[in-house]
Amino acid sequence: MSLLLGLDIGTSATKAIIVDDRGVVRGSADAATEVSMPRTGWSEQDPDEWWKACIHATRNAVQAAAIGGDEIQAIGLSGQMHGSVFLPRDADANDPRPIRPALLWNDQRTAPQCDEITRALGAQRLLQITGNRALTGFTAPKVLWLRDHEPKHFAQLGLLLLPKDYIRFRMTGEAAIDAGDASGTLLLDLRTRDWSDEILQAIKIDRSILPPVVESTVWSGSLSSSAARAMGLRAGAPVVAGSGDQMTGAVGMGIVRRGLVSATLGTSGVIFAHAGKSPPIDAEGSLQAMCAAVPGEYCMYGCMLSAAGALQWFHEVVAPDVSYAQLDAEASHVPPGSEGLVFLPYLTGERCPYPDPSARGAFVGLTARHSRGHMARAVMEGVAFGMAQMLDLARGMGSAPIEIRLSGGGAKSKLWREIQASAYGAPVTLLNTSEGSAYGAALLAGVGSEVWGSVAEACDACISVRERIEPDAGMVQVYERSRSIYDSLYPALRKTFDAMRL
């Protein structure tokens, strides 16, 4: 029996999971990491804390699985996307000493650098090459910020890595990045799946600081003796490239064929669609276009900033005295459409489909008749409508869903699952696994070490549907009207939101 280790370098924790060749989780463990916010809008982490967390989580997962570390056949990597790890020239894998803390995906300091990149390439040319607009979370603007604000550090820069690729470097001494994570840097040509010389020349970034780009299933190095001792594993174990957490999370849900879409209701909400062999470039840049973890194929996704987080806010502020189950029960007694009450879930601004930090949340249509249950259901419906807007964008780009696979905390509610099916107008399903990105990384490790012949084969062997919910015809009809009202509200209120900005 083959045992595979998946490592996911998250923002708040690193997760290690051990999976066998039937897809059964044999052991898992988390190790927390802290985020530093030295100024408003800044978000940083010490890369060495990720390495310590990897060691701790791996050892605990091996112990939980009741196996020897030498039984792990291969290791796959996943991690938070877009973060920048700046290493000096001739960095030693055993003690690389990053030049400064890493700037993370949610760091907002680089708006001027995003403008610079857009001016240098032109907005449409940037979209044509990368499939994305210049956003503050991406990696390329962070490099320019280092150049502009910390020139002494920039002068030392010899190697730029993303979070999981820093862990690869620590584990193997090899510098590499997969096409999926690389497509979130704003430096990759989506069509060639390699660094864009046109972009590098336009914004004056030296190609020599960038690692080679490989596919997610490639054996990208072997575990060194020193790393093996630290992690309690065997030296020489293959380390497979893996991908960014969105792509590995998709693999962990089997989203590896056209027609399969995932809808994840965590703090934020993500619609992720597999797009096949052609880059899915949105002319407006509303959806992110990326290379998939399936070699040679592509994906797209959109993210709304408040999803299950909106219900958490409502629970804490309006209904702290009851359980989520009670709130769910109250909402279930309210008819679809919440008797005219509509909720806008823009509690922390919005990213997709409206990239607007000034957007605000709102209950619209509130009357004396409406109860707490009405409000709770309106929150669920409003989030589902926002997710449906992103799904419609994916449909418009040729990714018509035949099945939408649910995950995240919002998928635990039977009512919210039913609301989503009817708001999306498509069947929604729950799977036999909910382990997410680390699980996907383990499956990629299996493909890279030839346990399975392809990513699709790995998913077919390990992932199955355990529950299917069909849209309700009556609810679909009600939601068509509610959705039209929902869709009209942001455009009507946009100027008001701008005026309310502090």
Q: Which long-range contacts (CB under 8 A, 24 or more apart) does 198-202 make?
A: 198/121, 198/129, 199/121, 199/126, 199/129, 199/130, 199/140, 202/117, 202/120, 202/121
How many angstroms separate the CA atoms of 300 and 296, rounded? 14
How far CA 177 is from CA of 130, 165, 248, 324, in Å, comes to 16, 6, 14, 41
What are the two backbone dihedrals, phi and then psi, of residue 91, each rounded to the nearest 5 degrees? Answer: -65, 140
Secondary structure, 3-state, 240-255: EEEEEHHHHHHHHCCC
How far CA 337 is from CA of 333, 426, 478, in Å, comes to 12, 18, 6
Q: Of residues 30, 107, 181, 245, which has the active-site annotation? A: 245
H runs (alpha helix) in 131-282: 140-149, 151-156, 163-172, 179-182, 197-203, 225-231, 245-252
How many angstroms separate the CA atoms of 289 and 133, rounded? 10
Which residues are paired to 465 by β-bridges? 431
Amino acid identity, residue 500? M
Amino acid identity, residue 307? A
Which residue matches tokens 């991406």? 138
Residue 385's H or E segment, with its range, is helix 372-396
Tokens of 268: 């934020």
Which residues are paired to 289 by β-bridges? 300
487 is catalytic: no
Listed in sequence order, the residues at least 6 apart from 471 whose beta carbon sits closer than 8 Å to its beta carbon are: 421, 422, 424, 425, 426, 427
Report strand pairing: 298-304 vs 269-276: antiparallel
Burial of 4 (0-12, 13-18, 19+ CB in 10 A): buried
Catalytically active residues are 245
